[in-house]
Amino acid sequence: MERPIGVTLLAILAGILFLLNLIITLRFLGFLPFIGPLDIRVFNLWYALLYGLLAYIWFWVARMLWQVEREAWTFLLFITVLNLSFAFITMITGGSWYDNSAAVLLNVLVLVYIMLPGTREAFGTD
């Protein structure tokens, strides 16, 4: 199946979200203290596991989108909402907007884009 330009952009955004979740995972493991406020060094194994799992899932979603698999649209919808929920929980329990701002903004953009009729039609979910 031919890959539309919008689906290519979604795959690239999913790859960017993979990298962001990988960076957040490393921050929660206590690595990369030079990204963000320098006076805070956070270690939280639970959040590191959650964001590590999300990083793996985003990698998987990017691969599915790149191959334009039909299930990719449904899974992208699910994982985008799940990622927004995790970011919201992280901010409520003491995380900062700085750590989650890029991921939240990209997830909202992805969520809006996959709901457009043309995108749904490309995956045959219309």
Domain count of the chain? 1
pLDDT at residue 38 is higher than 50: no
Q: Which of 23, 41, 22 lies closest to 33, judged by CA? A: 41
In this structure, which amino acid lies at residue 117?
Answer: P
At residue 21, what are phi and psi to the nearest 5 degrees?
-70, -30
C-beta of residue 29 within 8 angstroms of C-beta of residue 38? no
* Over residues 90-112, mean pLDDT: 81
pLDDT digits (tens, 9 = 90+) for 16-33: 989 988 988 888 887 766
pLDDT at residue 41 is higher than 70: no
Q: Higher model confidence: residue 38 or residue 34?
A: 34
Global pTM? 0.70
Domain limits for position 104? 5-123
C-beta of residue 28 within 8 angstroms of C-beta of residue 51? yes
pLDDT at position 110 is 83
How far apart CA 10 and CA 63 sit, in angstroms, is 11
